[in-house]
A and B are shown apart, each in its own frame.
Chain A
């Protein structure tokens, strides 16, 4: 037990901001998992007086349809984290597999896939996501689909360059000379060496995915309006900005806090997982 305490103390000293971020993220995860128990009311219960200012009964007030804002913010954590994690895990995993494959084999598969990535990355991300959402229609799962399409090429490009440089290193040559099959080399050498990049990509992109989800809701093409999406709540709140500022302030603060904490955590994990990237710009 003492060892754990010592290690935790060291971590706190080296990465104080990262630990702070992790604590906030933990709170959000708890809120997301236990939303049905923590939230005093349902996210879609329009059962109360409208535009009640924050007070004892409704700590964050009620909205234009008489729904409890606190409950919607708590349920919003579930939606945001679900969308963020699901899209990042699917998108970065697919992109990494794609990147490892093309980076290792090279040749035509590599060149042509790089050109496809070029085309996707030639469009500003929000514009691409906006067009995608218009094409597939508004739903939570379609937001995840759009985000996956956004994230996959970026991951493919990053992981491909890592896989490429690993493939060119002497120990891969040695493994091949020793008679290792392609499958063995990829699984034993390439994949483990790409793992740090993968972890960094996952942790740094969750906050990005959450912001894009909220931006899409803000542009009116994200999750359907009755879903408790922080971005959607913020947008709806701007309609009554002067009379009921709590309607846009609380969801806005929730998004910012989540993104801030995830950024701090992501930075710390990047420092630990991949020392080569230390002092970078992300």
Chain B
């Protein structure tokens, strides 16, 4: 076990650095940099004075140095959590992260919570009533959840709310700590829209796990000794089928981030996603770099935790 943990931990840092370097190089391939945007945004013709201005801004921001040198500098500062100054917002990127991150996290947690509350019981019902109309209904709902792109679900929810309930969710963000009611009024809809999508694989996995477990000997034993259906299903079968489901949920937690970006844009939540899309369009390298870094960090950490948890719970994996 300790060798497995050590190997996984040793891979963590290089992978994170590799992913960061990849984005770093990518962002520098983008045609047109921030210096050109800042100088030309007035809309005037190119001139030698502007060329000079551009060169000056590039030196100021360190953009004139080789990419690898820039990356080394960035890395050195990132190690002490200094992500530089945002080009477009003119304030430290760290402040942007501190402001935006909790909002995206709240949205992600809310989404996952709703998805679990709705998917796991349905998965159990679908398995217990296998091949009945209820099972088919649950499965059709689940596969349709996988087929509706989340941005369509999001827009559709917004449209139905306005059209049939004459209700528009607040487009002005309120902090959870200051005004929890207003905050949830805005956050609940994007969470529902994405939860519908994520619930589908969770439901299918719960169902297939349950189907496998209810055929095990110990479940037959539990029935044979006269336990009620409810006791067998919830105490014996469900508990044993939840392990892969829980780890799968952990793994999905990371993938959720991409969807959160889209949801934030539709429902005007000023989180990391909106900041990222904005920063990409302004060629705001430090902000893009830092947000992607944080996302990769969360993603890798979740994967690591899930894998270690799995290995700890299931000895067969450690030996593989």
Taking beta carbons and an 8 Å cutoff, which residues of A are in contact with B? 115-116, 118-120, 122-127, 130-132, 134-137, 207, 211, 214-215, 218-221, 231, 234, 238, 241-242, 245, 248, 252, 255-256, 259-260, 263-264, 279-282
Instruction: How many A-B residue pairs have C-beta atoms within 8 angstroms? Tell me.
Output: 131
Partner pick for B27 among A115, A134, A215, A219, CB 8 A cutoff: A134
- Residues of chain B within 8 A (CB-CB) of A259 are 146-149
Question: Which of A125, A218, A241 has the largest count of B CB atoms less than 10 A from its CB?
Answer: A218
State whether the Cβ of B204 lies closer than 8 Å to any Cβ in chain A: yes
Q: A255-B152, A259-B147, A260-B147 are in contact. Are A219 and B26 (CB under 8 A)?
A: no
- Residues of chain A within 8 A (CB-CB) of B204 are 281
User: Is the Cβ of B262 less than 8 Å from the Cβ of A215?
Assistant: yes
User: Is the Cβ of B280 less than 8 Å from the Cβ of A130?
Assistant: yes
- Residues of chain B within 8 A (CB-CB) of A219 are 261-262, 265, 277
- Residues of chain A within 8 A (CB-CB) of B11 are 115, 118
- Residues of chain B within 8 A (CB-CB) of A123 are 19, 22-23, 292, 295-296, 299
User: Is the Cβ of A280 less than 8 Å from the Cβ of B280?
Assistant: no
User: Is the Cβ of B151 less than 8 Å from the Cβ of A234?
Assistant: yes
Q: Is the interface of A mostly helix, strand, loop or mixed?
A: helix
User: Is the Cβ of A260 less than 8 Å from the Cβ of B143?
Assistant: yes
- Residues of chain A within 8 A (CB-CB) of B27 are 131, 134-135
Partner pick for B30 among A135, A263, A279, CB 8 A cutoff: A135
Question: Smallest CB–CB gap between B306 and chain A, Å?
Answer: 14
Q: Give Cα distance in the complex from A108 to B24, angstroms.
A: 26
Report the nearest A residue to B31, measured CB to CB: A137
Interface residues on B, range: 35 or more
Q: Offer 25 A-B interface pairs, CB within 8 angstroms, sorted by A.
A: A119-B22, A122-B18, A122-B299, A123-B19, A126-B259, A126-B262, A131-B288, A131-B292, A134-B30, A134-B283, A135-B29, A137-B31, A231-B151, A234-B151, A241-B155, A242-B162, A242-B163, A245-B163, A248-B155, A252-B149, A256-B147, A260-B147, A279-B208, A281-B204, A281-B248
Q: A127-B276, A256-B147, A259-B149 are in contact. Are A238 and B155 (CB under 8 A)?
A: yes
User: Is the Cβ of A252 less than 8 Å from the Cβ of B152?
Assistant: yes
User: Is the Cβ of A241 less than 8 Å from the Cβ of B162?
Assistant: yes
Q: A259-B149, A260-B143 are in contact. Are A124 and B26 (CB under 8 A)?
A: no
Question: Smallest CB–CB gap between A104 and chain B, Å?
Answer: 19
Partner pick for B280 among A122, A134, A211, A252, CB 8 A cutoff: A134
State whether the Cβ of B57 lies closer than 8 Å to any Cβ in chain A: no
Q: Give Cα distance in the complex from A214 to B158, angstroms.
A: 19
Q: Give Cα distance in the complex from A252 to B300, angstroms.
A: 33
Which 9 residue pairs across A and B have the least CB separation, nearest first?
Answer: A119-B18, A126-B258, A260-B147, A124-B258, A122-B19, A252-B152, A135-B29, A259-B147, A118-B15
- Residues of chain A within 8 A (CB-CB) of B277 are 130, 219-220
